[in-house]
Amino acid sequence: MQLDTAMIDGTMVVTVREDRMDAAVAIDFKERMRDVTLDAPGRVILDLAQVRFLDSSGLGAIIGAMKQLGSRRRLELAGLKPPVAKVFRLTRIDTIFVIHNDVAAALTEDGSRPHGGTAHAC
């Protein structure tokens, strides 16, 4: 599981460099996210623009990563492809994440909307 990180204006951006997030990579994703976000600031944006397929294991891993951040830090999502966005919508998990069209949009918004809203329709 390849994850790239960048700090941009006090926000950590974690980019998933895989086209699938499924059972084969879910555990590795959670472990890598824990490692890269250990000293993360209060806002972390997970860039999923390269992910074309997400199953329930991948969804669970993203939720696990959010829980690992705890209540003092928040995980926002960006760049969901239509099939990935559909999984979030069908499971209603889109109601617990702030979801942005892309990283650029996420960085121009303050991300202060409470959980339960999306930045833009996916």
Residue ranges of the domains in the chain? 3-108
Q: What is the per-residue pLDDT for 1?
A: 86
From CA 16, how far away is CA 45, in angstroms rounded?
Answer: 11
Q: What is the per-residue pLDDT for 109?
A: 81
Those residues whose C-beta lies under 8 Å from the C-beta of residue 120, and which sit 6 or more positions away, are 99, 100, 101, 105
Helix-helix angle 56-69:26-36, to 10 degrees: 20
Of 4-8, 25-29, 43-47, 112-116, which gets the smallest average pLDDT?
Answer: 112-116
Contact 78, 43 (CB under 8 A): no
Residue 66, judged by CB atoms within 10 A of its CB (0-12, 13-18, 19+), counts as buried
| Number of Cβ within a 10 Å radius of residue 96 | 14
- Band of the pLDDT at 112, cuts 50, 70, 90? low
Q: What is the per-residue pLDDT for 116?
A: 40
Mean pLDDT (whole number) for 50-70: 96
Across the strands, what pairs with 15? 4, 47
From CA 45, how far away is CA 106, in angstroms rounded?
Answer: 8
pLDDT surpasses 50 at 121? no
Mapped onto helix, strand or coil, the DSSP state of residue 37 is coil
Domain 3-108 top-level CATH class: alpha beta
